[in-house]
Chains A and B, each alone.
Chain A
């Protein structure tokens, strides 16, 4: 069974440019999470989806970050415009339900110059 797939693995952009990350969760997993991880820190939640509905996005900086999960499967996380402080690894995870174990993708490492 395929795991959580994310792309791109690495992205380098200049500040003020837009960037988008894509996530394909494990088939059948209704719950999808986007986490941000800084070096030496644990993952911090940005947004959680139950199917296509964003049910917890209180930590998402909505002035520059947006996310969608059309049809309740794949998800996209966008940053526009990017700032230097956005440099981090963006992790996507999925689970069968909101109480299940999380399965993580390998992450998208963003560097903003």
Chain B
């Protein structure tokens, strides 16, 4: 099984940088996803990390350290539309490969 932990809520200012952390425990790591979910909408894919290091995609970057069971999502130049829930999901090796989601971090961006 997996244990995924991320902060419940964060606030930040428009134009700033915010880092959302995710820690996990798993018996067989096979990849980590970040999804964005606006209220009342479907989760949408942001990033996927399977190897250690930083993956950059525009204003969003995701980092993974497998030895530490740790990932973060970095959002730069925050915009009001970035206010959403950010879901960390870990896929385990062997058998099902089904991603298990954390409870999500609600990010509030204010002017």
Report which A residues bind B (CB closer than 8 A): 4, 33, 35, 40-45, 48, 55-56, 91, 98-99, 101-107
Contact = CB atoms under 8 A, between A and B. Distances in A.
Contacts of A44: 101
Interface centre among A41, A43, A103 (most CB of B within 10 A): A43
- Give the secondary structure class of A's interface: loop
Interface residues of B, number: 25
Contacts of A56: 96, 98
B74 to A, nearest CB: 20
- Give the secondary structure class of B's interface: strand
Contact of B96 (A55, A91, A107): A55
B44 interface: yes
Contacts of B91: 99
B48 A42 contact: no
Contacts, number: 52
A35 B99 CA distance: 11
A103 B46 CA distance: 11
B98 A106 contact: no
Interface of B: 4, 8, 30-31, 33, 35, 41-45, 48, 87, 89, 91, 96-104, 106
Nearest to A107: B42
B44 A42 contact: no
Given A101-B33, A103-B45, A106-B41, A42 B89 contact: yes
Contacts of B106: 40
A104 B89 CA distance: 14
Given A42-B89, A104-B44, 6 more contacts: A40-B8, A40-B104, A98-B97, A102-B33, A102-B43, A102-B45
B96 A42 contact: no
Given A40-B103, A101-B33, A45 B98 contact: yes
Given A41-B104, A42-B104, A101-B33, A106 B99 contact: no
Contacts of B96: 48, 55-56, 98
A41 B101 CA distance: 9
A98 B102 CA distance: 19
